[in-house]
Amino acid sequence: MSKKILKIKSAIYIKNYELLITFQDGKEVNVDFYDFLKSSTNPQIRDYLILEKFKAFKIKDHDLLWGDFDLLFPIEDLYSGKISA
């Protein structure tokens, strides 16, 4: 059995620290990044609590990222809607 290859098709800012992520298979997941950002002890990650900085995400090569790969999450976690530190 082959493993499904996951790709992000799009991501839309919803509110606060929430994004609606759409995958190539049509699945849509609302992911809230607040708890992850708030609990981080890394100041570079905590900088993304600045909402304007958080909103500056992009899709590159079907991955969701911020800055110069400052934040990048495993696609399986995004697909499940649960991210952790």
Q: What is the CATH number of the domain that holds 40?
A: 3.30.2020.10
The verdict on residue 1 lying in a domain is no
Q: Would you state the pLDDT for residue 84?
A: 78
- Name which of 62, 66, 69, 67 is nearest 21 in CA terms: 62
Q: Would you state the pLDDT for residue 2?
A: 54
φ and ψ at residue 51, rounded to 5 degrees = -55, -40
Q: How many domains does the chain have?
A: 1
The verdict on residue 29 lying in a domain is yes
The verdict on residue 2 lying in a domain is no
What is the full per-residue pLDDT of the chain (85 aa) written as tens digits? 557 789 999 999 999 999 999 999 999 999 999 999 999 999 999 999 999 999 999 999 999 999 988 999 999 999 999 987 6
The verdict on residue 22 lying in a domain is yes
Amino acid at 6: L
Token pair recorded at residue 58:
């992009």
The verdict on residue 84 lying in a domain is no
The verdict on residue 85 lying in a domain is no
Q: Would you state the pLDDT for residue 69?
A: 87
Contact yes or no for 22/10 (Cβ under 8 A)? yes
Q: Would you state the pLDDT for residue 58?
A: 96
